[in-house]
Amino acid sequence: MNNVEKLLLEFKKKIKNLDTIHDLETIQIIYLGRKGLINHLLQSITNLKSEEKKDFGLKVNKLKTSINQLIGVKRQQLIKKPDTASYFDITLPGKQYPKGSLHLISNAIEKISDIFKKIGFIRMTYPEVEWEYFSFDSLNMPKGHPARDDFETLFIDAAESKKYGKMILSPHTSSCQVREMMRVGKPPIRMINIAKCYRPNWDVTHTPMFHQFESLCVDKNINITNLKGTIDYFVKEYFGEEFEARLRPFHFQFTEPSFEIDITCAVCLGKGEISGQQCKVCKSGWLELAGAGMVHPNVLKAGKIDPSKYTGWAFAFGIERLIIIQTKMDNIRILYDGDIRFLKEF
Ligand SMILES: [Zn+2]
């Protein structure tokens, strides 16, 4: 048997059991490709005697035609019978992908933003790496104030500014107050800011990174009633109609007068006791939730707003605090453990 006949026999054997188009194409390249077996055979013609060349050339060309035909037939068979690798049954049920959900904190942020949007407040963002000036000086907190100590605030190792002091990680969202006044220029201001805050604390009720949301309203004739009304609206929208809020006199440097905001305890529903026993969570029926007050005239002045014409209120809530009250969680750190079993509970 000569080389040509041998090659054809081998080829027939090889394509007989093929069952994918991909395999057929591979074989096609091996035989008919530029560096394939047929071309190799044709090149060997130079080694033949001149009287043998014509006959050999004809045989190889015939072989090439046969292989081309056989490939064409096999291709048609494979197209009619779908190969297993590319066969797709559209009637089979789809793959079930695991469903994710938003983190509790993200959910709370969305909800708060929606509640305030309804009453015309815009949501702004401000730097988290902040100057001391916006976090303290502009908020009426003088140089020696204990909050400015490095036990309470995280300082950035960077050059100090003559105008704004040292760089810090924003310890509260209130740094936005004077920034917003400077941005707007002339009241009215109705703004919320929801952001990460940083303090060097780590225990069951504190994490070094946490979230606050701040609300600021400055306009003509703004008074405590407006503040109380907004807080009542928020508490009922966020927690439910059965929840009440109260203002309790307190002291902050950047508001005057200042209050702490308490809300109805979710565990005893404001009764302070459960079947004759004092409620362990609140002891009084109320839970402390946030700080609030009328914007201090010095803060308005720092924001270039005339305190004889305009007044305003501000309050700040901890987002983690809202979640603790809602879920009765006893360890805040679990929020940031990244344990998916916990997140699946909600
Ligand atoms: Zn209670």
Q: How far is the CA of 112 from the centre of ligand 1 (A)?
A: 24
The confidence score (pLDDT) of residue 142 equals: 84
Q: What is the DSSP letter of 77?
A: H
Can you give the residue ranges of every domain in the chain? 3-80, 104-129+170-344
Query: Binding site for Mg(2+): residue ranges?
Result: 256
Query: Binding site: residue ranges?
Result: 256
Q: How far is the CA of 297 from the centre of ligand 1 (A)?
A: 37
Q: Is the Cβ–Cβ distance between 44 and 74 less than 8 Å?
A: no
Cβ density class 141-150: b for 16+ within 10 Å, e for less: beeeeeebee
Tell whether pTM > 0.75: no
Q: Domain 104-129+170-344: what homologous superfamily?
A: Bira Bifunctional Protein; Domain 2 (3.30.930.10)
Q: How far is the CA of 114 from the centre of ligand 1 (A)?
A: 28
Give, in degrees to the nearest 5, the angle at Cα 319 between 314 and 321.
Answer: 100
Beta bridge partners of 122: 191
Q: How far is the CA of 34 from the centre of ligand 1 (A)?
A: 85
Q: How far is the CA of 274 from the centre of ligand 1 (A)?
A: 8
Could you tell me the strand order of the sheet in which 122-124 lies? 122-124, 189-198, 209-219, 311-318, 286-295, 255-264, 245-250
Distance CA(215)–CA(317), nearest Å, equals 9
Q: How far is the CA of 326 from the centre of ligand 1 (A)?
A: 12
The confidence score (pLDDT) of residue 284 equals: 87
Q: How far is the CA of 342 from the centre of ligand 1 (A)?
A: 24
The confidence score (pLDDT) of residue 84 equals: 58
Q: What is the DSSP letter of 137?
A: G
The confidence score (pLDDT) of residue 301 equals: 96
Q: How far is the CA of 39 from the centre of ligand 1 (A)?
A: 91
Q: How far is the CA of 305 from the centre of ligand 1 (A)?
A: 42
The confidence score (pLDDT) of residue 129 equals: 95
Write the single-letter amino acid at 115: I
Alpha helices in the chain (DSSP H): 3-16, 21-32, 37-43, 50-80, 104-117, 132-135, 176-184, 224-238, 297-302, 319-327, 340-344
pLDDT along the chain (346 residues), means of 10: 83 88 90 90 84 87 91 87 64 81 91 96 95 94 83 91 94 95 95 95 86 96 96 94 94 93 88 87 86 96 96 94 80 84 81
Q: How far is the CA of 276 from the centre of ligand 1 (A)?
A: 12
